[in-house]
Amino acid sequence: MVNIKPLKGLKYDINKIGDISEVLAPPYDIISNSQNEELKNSNNFNFSFLTLPKETGSKTKYENACDVLKKWINEGVLVLDKDECFYLMEIIFTEGAALKSFFGLVGLLKIEEYGKGKVLRHEKTLPKPMEDRLSLLKACRTNFEFIYTLYDDSDKNVSNILKKTSIDVPLIETSAKYDSSLKFKLWQINNKIDIESIKNLMEPKTVLIADGHHRYETSRFYKESIGCQDINAADNNEKSIDARPEEYILSLFVAGNQDNILIHPTHRLVNFDKFVSSEFFAAKVKKYFTIESVDDISPENIEKKLITTPGTNQKKLMVCFNDKKCFLLILNNSLEKIYADLGMTASDFDKDFEYLDVNILHKLIFEIIFKETEVKEIKYVHTIAEAIEGLGVSASDVKDGKLYNACFILNAPSIETVEKLSVSGKIMPQKSTYFYPKPCSGLVIYKMDI
């Protein structure tokens, strides 16, 4: 059962902040150091002061985030809605030359263990990001950002309710100063009949976490830690554990059958424990891949090269080195045969899973072909231009002083593949997907103690 409910959202008072486009921020985990500074300099109320707080004096960054949150609430910069409601968000973006958009429902999702209910994941998580978000959650008892989930609404029953709301004038309509290609609209859904209908329609569905695995895991851990304590506070004496605010997480529910839900690839900039030349790499992988040298390393040409020829089922990856050499790698045999020849035949071989670009890279190339060469560092980037820049093939590319030995440019999995693997319980490697565009942070906040 998927248990969702409305909330009294904490939102910016536009009369206090002026231009709301200046206070919105991207999700914390895609903000670079330089962008973090730009955001904070753009407006004294920018949301990044809460999601990426700074350490000052004797206080930790998490204590400072709590102080800022309290100050903004006390000064009326952030105000609480009077009634519980769902929110409807429209994300409008430009992809190439086309203007696109999709809708999402904002509400609270009851947290549950994976596999015990109807909340599915698709990517692995790491401890370090969870430690950071847990410290922030403990200090502020606030969900500052959504988790982004997908659900099936092929019957359009939920969408039909949302469509009625979208006809009204939005509560907020704004661009994002941090990205001129993005616009956002926000409506309130406070009709009680609509609220109950949405809750009932969502109950039998399954939701897939598209983005926000670390936030979900952090909230699940926090909920369990609170539940294990002997809480004697007066305001908890009358509550069952299920009624506690820690049981829920702020979520964006997106119907996956909408046309403009996109997954972009996540490319890898890599440093090995020793220098790997383009010639050495090509010699090592030629047993398993047909290698084609690529002279034109423009993003447009690389994208064109990675497109699979219809009817061939060819598996292609691209690798480029800081000596300006770039290779298109085309798998020259089936993975089933390759792994069988290596004595790695598995009875549970899952073709959809094994043929993911990230699995071919990490398993076949890194773990098998280059088993004697350790991958020391990986930087994840989302555009081909960023991947090439990270190699420093021209002087203008060096932005943060960090250069990498090689970059691996991958194809993104389809939404259908991600959903299929999640339902079957297959967990993809970290940073396998990049759902685009990301919802902004700062439109709605879930404060547990207000």
Residue 395 has what pLDDT?
42
How confident is the model over 7-22, as a mean pLDDT?
96
Q: How many Cβ atoms sit within 10 Å of the Cβ of residue 417?
A: 19
- Residue 290, classed as helix, strand or coil, is strand
Q: What is the mean pLDDT of residues 351-379?
A: 94
Query: Rounded to the nearest 5°, which phi and psi values hold at 412?
Result: -85, 145
What value does the mean pLDDT take over residues 261-269?
94
Cβ–Cβ < 8 Å for 102, 261: yes
pLDDT digits (tens, 9 = 90+) for 233-246: 334 444 444 468 99
Q: For the chain, what percent of residues have pLDDT higher than 70?
A: 92
**What letter does residue 331 receive in the DSSP assignment?**
E
Written as one string, the DSSP assignment of 72-129 is HHHTTSEEE-SS-BEEEEEEEEEETTEEEEEEEEEEEEE---TTTSSEE--B---HHH
pTM, 2 dp: 0.90
Q: Identity (one letter) of the amino acid at 215?
A: R
Whether 21 has a pLDDT exceeding 60, the answer reads yes
- 112 DSSP β-pair partners: none
pLDDT at position 210: 94
Phi, psi of 65 (to 5 degrees): -60, -40
Q: How many CB atoms lie within 10 A of CB 84?
A: 15
Non-local (6+) Cβ contacts of 377 within 8 A are 270, 271, 404
Query: Tens digits of per-residue pLDDT, 395-439?
Result: 444 444 578 999 999 999 999 999 999 988 889 988 899 999 999
Q: What is the pLDDT of residue 230?
A: 36
pLDDT of 185 over the 50 cut:
yes
Residue 64 has a pLDDT of 97
What average pLDDT does range 98-114 have in this prediction?
94
DSSP string covering 337-387, please? HHHHHTT---TT--HHHHTSHHHIIIIIIIIIITTTS-EEEEEEESSHHHH
**Residue 298 above 70 pLDDT?**
yes
The pLDDT, as a whole number, for residue 125 is 82
Side chain identity at 430, as an amino acid letter? Q
pLDDT band at 51 (very low <50, low <70, confident <90, very high): very high
CA 268 → CA 203, 281, 377, 405, distances in Å?
38, 16, 10, 11
List b or e across 345-356, with b for residues whose CB sees 16 or more CB atoms inside 10 angstroms. Answer: eeeeeeeebbbb
pLDDT in tens, 129-146: 789 999 999 999 999 999
**What local confidence, expressed as pLDDT, does residue 254 receive?**
97
State the average pLDDT for the chain.
Answer: 90
Least trusted range by pLDDT, from 124-133, 215-224, 264-273: 124-133
Is the model's pLDDT at 331 over the cut of 90?
A: yes
Contacts with 25 (C-beta within 8 Å, 6 or more apart), sequence order: 31, 39, 46, 47, 48, 51, 178, 440, 441, 442
Q: Where are the domains positioned within the chain?
A: 4-262+436-447, 266-411
